[in-house]
Copies of this chain bind each other. A is one copy, B any other.
Amino acid sequence: MEAKWLPGISVDCVIFGFHENQLKVLLLKFSKTPVWALAGGFVGLEEDVDQAAQRILEERTGLTDIYLEQFYTFGDLERNYRATEEHRDVQTAMGLPEKEISWLSKRYITIGYYALVDYSKVQVNPSGMSDASEWMDVSALPKLFLDHNRIVIKALEALRQRLDDKLVAFELLGETFTMSELQMVYETILGKRLVRTNFQRKILSLEILHRIEKKYTGGAHKAPYLYRLKA
């Protein structure tokens, strides 16, 4: 391990997805522990940090070409894997001998990325060190590993900022989507309700969407149109 990775540095990815009108984060559970954490990993000696983040995401989600953005680097002194009961279990999960405390007790600096993925396309791929993974609602996360709760909060703030200038919301949806699905994405990220008519007008005035056809819902009443990003 020591030979392959840059020491003292990790990458943590806040993977956002959208499902059932909720903003979700993909979390992993360390094997044989109750400890949930963000998808994280290390940086190879011959690898850009951006590449490392992309690789970690591919390993966990099976997706390539993911929308990814670095948002903050966490370097507090307290960021270490001190040998508490919990972290000893994590160490075991990582396949490290219990005696090798040196690696875990070292202090880590982590570079935070957030990813926006199409929930429906993700094939969760548990790695060796985790035995479960789950999409959890951003607004109802359990206590996570280390300061990962704080990292999620920072990621969400960064995402909110980007929402206006970059057309980032579409990354959370599939190829096609209805207008109300899009509106839901905006509403849950911004944390407030929007007026339907004004929202539609604004989005359509950008002239980046192509309307296709009706969506078959099976339900009674008129089916909504489907849209797709132009070009």
Partner-B contacts on A (CB < 8 A): 6-9, 43, 45-52, 70, 72-73, 75-77, 107, 109, 111
- How far, in angstroms, from A8 to B47 measured CA to CA in the complex? 14
| Residue contact A111 to B75, C-beta cutoff 8 Å | yes
> In this complex, what residue of B is CB-closest to A111?
B73
> How many monomers of this chain does the complex have?
2
In-complex Cβ contact of A43 among B45, B46, B75 (8 A): B75
A9 — which chain B residues lie within 8 A by C-beta? 8-9, 109
| Residue contact A6 to B72, C-beta cutoff 8 Å | no
Minimum C-beta distance from A202 to chain B (A): 21
A48 — which chain B residues lie within 8 A by C-beta? 75-77
29 interchain pairs, CB-CB under 8 A: A6-B8, A6-B107, A6-B109, A7-B7, A7-B8, A8-B8, A8-B9, A9-B9, A9-B109, A43-B75, A43-B109, A46-B77, A48-B75, A48-B76, A48-B77, A49-B73, A49-B75, A49-B76, A49-B109, A50-B75, A50-B76, A51-B77, A52-B75, A70-B72, A70-B73, A73-B73, A73-B111, A75-B111, A109-B111
Minimum C-beta distance from A197 to chain B (A): 28
- New contact pairs (8) apart from A70-B73, A109-B111, CB-CB < 8 Å: A6-B107, A7-B7, A7-B8, A49-B73, A49-B76, A51-B77, A73-B73, A73-B111
> In this complex, what residue of B is CB-closest to A165?
B161
Q: Can you list the 8 inter-chain pairs with the closest CB atoms, starting with the nearest?
A: A49-B75, A73-B73, A48-B77, A48-B76, A73-B111, A6-B8, A7-B7, A9-B109
| Residue contact B107 to A77, C-beta cutoff 8 Å | no
- How far, in angstroms, from A186 to B222 measured CA to CA in the complex? 53
Of A46, A76, A109, the most chain B CB neighbours within 10 A belong to A109
> In this complex, what residue of B is CB-closest to A78?
B48
> In this complex, what residue of B is CB-closest to A44?
B77
A7 — which chain B residues lie within 8 A by C-beta? 7-8
Minimum C-beta distance from A193 to chain B (A): 23
